Amino acid sequence: MYDQEDKPKEECGLFGIYGHANAAALIYQGLFTLQHRGQEGAGIVVSDGKEIRSVKGQGLVGDVFSDKSFSSLPGNIGIGHVRYSTTGSTRIQNVQPLVAECVDGIWAVAHNGNLVNASRLRRMYQEAGAIFQTSTDSEVLIHLLADPMYRSRPKRVSRALTELEGSFSFLIMTKNCMMAARDSHGFRPLSIGKIGDAYVFASETCALVQTGAEFVRDVEPGELVIVDDHGMRSHPFSGKHVDNYAHCVFEMVYFARPDSNVFGYNVHMTRMQYGMRLAEEHPVDADIVIAVPDSGNSAALGFSRKSGIPFDYGFIRNHYVGRTFIMPEAESRSKGVDMKLTVLPEVVKGKRVVVVDDSIVRGTTAKRRVQHLRDAGAKEIHVRISCPPTAFPCYYGIDFPTTEELVAGKKDIETIRKFLGADSIGYLSEAGLLSPFKEGKNFCKACFSGKYPTSLEDVTSGKKGLELFSTEHKEKTKRIIN
């Protein structure tokens, strides 16, 4: 029961640049900064205006690319991608950016998010004779772009994007043009920066800082940004009216790096406010506050400051293990968790300890960490979580797709406390979750409330849902043939 990390799995990270002589090297820096968003695979596609070249592979950015890789990627336009597979299994064909040759040239696409109507679009094109090379939802955009119905009409890319439902931030590239787009709900972040005259796009602003780019603005929800020889211009691509945006609040709770500004808010300061609000909502008499590093650090600091209880290091993290929740296989995650954190007995022995973490998904490793604190001599253990109970599946790019996997989907708060073996447990309220934001109604909180901002009529279940659909389709075809 301890074979899975107690965290949600990440989606992906995007980085692109237009108009810089060392495009590939800068994309590498950007992807390295975004490595926390996905560790299964990485890819870079670059154009020199005549040819499009790509290098991609499975593993970390530093493992996939080398000095030799950069020498084989000359050009001043490029896009890059780091991947955790929320749709599609871990195999080289699914590593992005996806590259395809259409009748009017080569297109490259990089995607962060999850398309809830991908199975319907995929079925439509397969029944018309189209051949898919991957099992990712992202590939349906390439088929839309290649479709004569869109290719022969004005605003071709905009018309294709309007067919997509769900969450997406896209970087799209041809040999002499780059485009960036976000879905009309604005689920996933995407920012614009500049290095001199070059334009830069990144999933998080920390990647802009790392590459020396100056932040300009975010790509707006429902906006298509185009950069070419004529400069940068944009227009709304969606005719759908959205009353409120649906920014993923888990970006603020856990996914984004603390030094990023996401959706207009600094991540570290937001998490600090979560911790302070948590201390107000669930006060406790204790001797020390400790964090589950690294994602619980900011909230724990906020809890300490508000409560007046000293902050200390009760867990020591081995940074060379990596973020184990990104490891795709259960056995890999289990081994990583065993090595990831060590309790410091000298800090917790005989103490009443407040343990602050950002979230609990399955509860398995949280239970084990409570036991480790007991074994180290902690007198009392009070668990505090800087978000509400995660009780519902996400269909927009977070890989916890079934209620059965979620401890809060099956247990009430008191049952969770007993399951963990803690003396008390307190979750941040939904009001507390939204309190740092001027427009709290613009955030998606479906994984806490069960209220989804889009239709789920065509959604597939699980990260391998499209592969299962393809298998069923093959069996049906086989029966027809026979």
The structural domains of the chain, with segments of one domain joined by +, span 12-242, 267-438
Dihedrals phi, psi of 135, to nearest 5 degrees: -115, 25
What's the mean pLDDT when you consider all of the chain? Answer: 89
Helix axis angle, 118-127 to 139-146, nearest 10°: 50
Q: CATH number of 12-242: 3.65.10.10, 2.60.40.10, 3.40.50.1820, 3.60.20.10?
A: 3.60.20.10
Residue type, 171: L
Residue 322's pLDDT band (cuts 50, 70, 90)? low
pLDDT (0 to 100) of residue 2: 32
Residue 466 has pLDDT above 60, yes or no: no
Tokens at 50, concatenated: 């005549």
Average the pLDDT over each of 98-102, 257-261, 343-347, 465-469 and give the range with the smallest value.
465-469
pLDDT (0 to 100) of residue 479: 40
Do the Cβ atoms of 120 and 465 come closer than 8 Å? no
pLDDT mean over 374-387: 98
Q: Establish whether 444 is a catalytic residue.
A: no
pLDDT (0 to 100) of residue 481: 36
pLDDT (0 to 100) of residue 326: 44
Q: From CA 250, how far away is CA 359, in angstroms rounded?
A: 9
* β pairing state of 41-47 and 52-58: antiparallel
Task: Return all residues near 209 (Cβ < 8 A) that are at least 6 apart.
Answer: 259
Residue 127 has pLDDT above 90, yes or no: yes
pLDDT mean over 91-107: 91
Q: What percent of the chain has pLDDT over 90?
A: 75
Q: From CA 279, how far away is CA 104, in angstroms rounded?
A: 59
Do the Cβ atoms of 282 and 342 come closer than 8 Å? no
Do the Cβ atoms of 76 and 20 come closer than 8 Å? yes
DSSP 428: P
Find the DSSP H helices in 297-363: 297-307, 330-340, 345-348
Do the Cβ atoms of 439 and 377 come closer than 8 Å? no
Q: From CA 294, how far away is CA 316, in angstroms rounded?
A: 10
Dihedrals phi, psi of 238, to nearest 5 degrees: -105, 135
Q: Annotate 8-62 with DSSP letters as a single string.
A: PPP-EEEEEEES-TBHHHHHHHHHHHTGGG--SEEEEEEE-SS-EEEEEEES-HH
CA dihedral 94, 95, 101, 104 (to 10 degrees): 110
Beta strands in 261-321 (DSSP E): 261-262, 265-266, 288-291, 315-317
Q: From CA 429, how far away is CA 91, in angstroms rounded?
A: 39
Q: From CA 285, how far away is CA 343, in angstroms rounded?
A: 21
pLDDT (0 to 100) of residue 90: 60
Residue 3 has pLDDT above 80, yes or no: no
pLDDT (0 to 100) of residue 84: 80
Residue 71's CB: how many other CB atoms inside 10 A? Answer: 9
Residue 86 has pLDDT above 80, yes or no: no
**Top-level class of domain 267-438:** alpha beta
Q: From CA 5, how far away is CA 7, in angstroms rounded?
A: 6
pLDDT (0 to 100) of residue 9: 60
pLDDT (0 to 100) of residue 321: 62
Kindly report, residue by residue over 146-204, the tens digit of the pLDDT: 998 888 777 899 999 999 999 999 999 999 999 999 999 999 999 999 999 999 999 99
Q: Identify the active-site residue in 12, 387, 394, 447.
A: 12
Do the Cβ atoms of 180 and 218 come closer than 8 Å? no
pLDDT mean over 282-307: 97
pLDDT (0 to 100) of residue 69: 74
Residue 97: is the preceding peptide bond cis (ω within 30°)? yes
pLDDT mean over 12-29: 96
Residue 482 has pLDDT above 50, yes or no: no
Do the Cβ atoms of 29 and 44 come closer than 8 Å? no
pLDDT (0 to 100) of residue 5: 54
List the one residue out of 337, 360, 111 whose CA is nearest residue 254: 360
pLDDT mean over 260-279: 98
Residue 338's pLDDT band (cuts 50, 70, 90)? low
Q: Quickly tell me which residue has 């290098």 as its tokens.
A: 55
pLDDT (0 to 100) of residue 13: 96
Element (H, E) at 155: none
Kindly report, residue by residue over 212-230, the tens digit of the pLDDT: 999 999 999 999 999 999 9
Helix axis angle, 465-481 to 118-127, nearest 10°: 30
Do the Cβ atoms of 230 and 18 come closer than 8 Å? no
Q: From CA 461, how far away is CA 454, in angstroms rounded?
A: 16
pLDDT mean over 430-451: 95
Specify the higher pLDDT residue, 301 or 326. 301
pLDDT mean over 35-48: 94
Q: From CA 364, how far away is CA 411, in angstroms rounded?
A: 13
Do the Cβ atoms of 373 and 420 come closer than 8 Å? no
pLDDT mean over 254-275: 97
pLDDT mean over 400-421: 91
Q: Quickly tell me which residue has 């499209």 as its tokens.
A: 466
Tokens at 65, concatenated: 């690319």
